[in-house]
Amino acid sequence: MKEIVPAPPPIVRNQFETIRELFSQNVVPSYGRFDLALSHGSGSYLFDVDGRRYLDLGGGIAVCALGHAHPGITEALVAQSRKLVHISNLYYQEPQGRLAQALVALVGPGKCFFCNSGAEANEGLFKLARKFGHDDGRFEVITAVNSFHGRTLGGIAATGQDKVKKGFEPMVAGFRHVPFNDLAAMRAAISPATAAIMIEGIQGEGGVTPATPEYLLGLRALCDEKRLLLLMDSVQCGHFRSGRFQSFQRILEGVPGGDKFLPDGISMAKSLGGGFPMGAFWVRAPYADLLSPGTHGTTYGGSPLACAVALKILEVIEREELAANARSAGEFLKTGLEKVARTYPGIVQNVRGLGLMIGIEFAPGIPNLPGDPSKTQAIRLTSQLQAAGLLVIPAGASILRLLPALNLTRGEAAEGLRIVESVIARLVG
Ligand SMILES: *Cc1c(COP(=O)(O)O)cnc(C)c1O
């Protein structure tokens, strides 16, 4: 039968709602997302689909080392893709060799393996630890409480937070967790089965907690004494974010014996590719050939395209002195935030971090904080800042993280501080 009543005109919806609907119908809902659909960016600014501008101090969770739409990255992608995108790891190619050489020069004598993400880089280090301990029956890796090491089965077993494990038991065997920055607890946890220790130089997801110099030096001595590998997950805190290539280099600056410190393995990702998916691990010279031909691999790892982008990012960081900028812009932000904390002691409890990896810890139970009370304060505060035009990253129950582009300008940092202060002032009433 023909319809007599004409169909109503389509409901006019804004673009955000249309996109959100596509997600709710078609995308696995494994992420809690903020009500924001982004369309493009430039440097430290992002624009949503309705044309609203945001200052991005989250940097895609410490990934966008050069900000958004950096012309150097575009140029590297275009130039390399005209030559070669991918060839597999059956053959040699210059960009991967040159990138490995650059990373070795930045860390110390050793070799690199390339993969596609942080979790995968850590998986490689776990396999390295198992290979290392295999002949004397050792396999265990001890990690820290509140650590984060990725979302693969190995990654969640290694991560010292119950919330990532829940529902996915049984865990991969061979991981235990001890309190961070507690050398005695680490020593007590070592068993005849232990092969390695893995820590973050600055815990990221756990709420921006740097390792102390004593802890790093103590772990090195402990690993030497017990013949263990010391592995560092630098996925978030690495790549000049702290003001030095590696956070341990920054933490140990000026500390007696600090310049001799080297871990045995380092995982990298996030800022390494600046948004192009890429991971890597570095392994110290004595162990660099443990993973012999046929023992480990990944199809895409270290493609010419990924390596060309990573090389370009290193070149720009060096040419524009972005390590020094991470240090000074980070200091400027931290000093400003400490001032805000002194003005609003009931709201902001603590500001911590190194370089452009900063955590702002809020007091629990802030009265009058708008938003769904079933959500954490960190998420509700992030939404408040977003509404005021600033993007940050929540961590834990009440911590906000700033992980901006390494080329953040002083003016942008000042704008971020103004927005943070105005939102907090509004909370106080
Ligand atoms: C993000 C992160 C990972 C996981 O990296 P993915 O690329 O998401 O797999 C691992 N460790 C740390 C410290 C991280 O911050």
Closest C-alpha residue for ligand 1 atom 15: 236
Output the residue whose Cα is nearest ligand 1's atom 6: 118
Q: Separation of 155 CA from ligand 1 center, angstroms? A: 9
Atom of ligand 1 nearest to the CA of 269: 7
Q: Is 204 in the pocket of ligand 1 (CB under 6 A)?
A: yes
> What pLDDT was estimated at residue 429?
76
Cα 319 to chain centroid, rounded: 23
Q: For residue 381, give both structure tokens.
A: 């505060």
Q: Is 361 in the pocket of ligand 1 (CB under 6 A)?
A: no
Please indicate whether residue 199, judged by its CB atom, sits closer than 6 Å to ligand 1.
no
Domain boundaries, the chain: 72-319, 321-391+405-429
Domain covering 72-319 assigned CATH 3.40.640.10 in the classification: yes
Dist CA 30 CA 32 (whole Å): 7
Say which residues have a Cβ less than 8 Å from residue 64's Cβ, sequence separation at least 6: 56, 271, 274, 275, 405
Which pLDDT score, from 0 to 100, does residue 219 have? 98
| Residue nearest atom 5 in ligand 1 by C-alpha distance | 118
pLDDT at 2: 56
Q: What is the pLDDT of residue 354?
A: 98
CA of 204 to the centre of ligand 1 (A): 9
> Is the distance from the beta carbon of residue 303 to the nearest atom of ligand 1 less than 6 Å?
no
Q: Residue 393, class by beta-carbon neighbours within 10 Å (0-12 exposed, 13-18 middle, 19+ buried)?
A: buried
Q: How far is 239 from 405, CA to CA, in rounded Å?
A: 11
Of all helices (H) and strands (E), which one includes residue 426?
A: helix 410-428
Whether the CB of 269 sits within 6 Å of ligand 1: yes
C-beta of 123 in contact with ligand 1 (< 6 A): no
Three-state secondary structure call for residue 235: coil
pLDDT reported for residue 14: 83
The percent of residues above 70 in pLDDT, for the chain, comes to: 97
Helix, coil or strand: residue 407: coil
Q: Is the CB of 148 under 6 A from ligand 1?
A: yes
Query: Mean pLDDT for each 10-residue chunk of the chain (429 residues)?
Result: 62 83 98 97 97 98 98 98 98 98 98 98 98 98 98 98 98 98 98 98 97 98 98 98 98 97 98 98 98 98 98 98 98 98 96 98 94 96 98 97 98 98 93
What number of CA atoms fall less than 13 Å from residue 347's CA on the CB side?
A: 24
Q: What is the pLDDT of residue 5?
A: 72
CB atoms within 10 A of CB 71: 9
Residues in Cβ contact with 377 at an 8 Å cutoff, skipping those fewer than 6 apart: 362, 364, 365, 366, 369, 397, 398
| Ligand 1 atom with least separation from CA of 61 | 1
pLDDT tens digits, 244-279: 999 999 999 999 999 999 999 999 999 999 999 999
φ/ψ of 265, rounded to 5, equals -155, 145
Q: What CATH number should be reported for the domain whose range is 321-391+405-429?
A: 3.90.1150.10
Of ligand 1's atoms, which has the minimum distance to the CA of residue 122?
10
CA of 151 to the centre of ligand 1 (A): 8
Q: Which structure tokens are listed for 378?
A: 């960190």
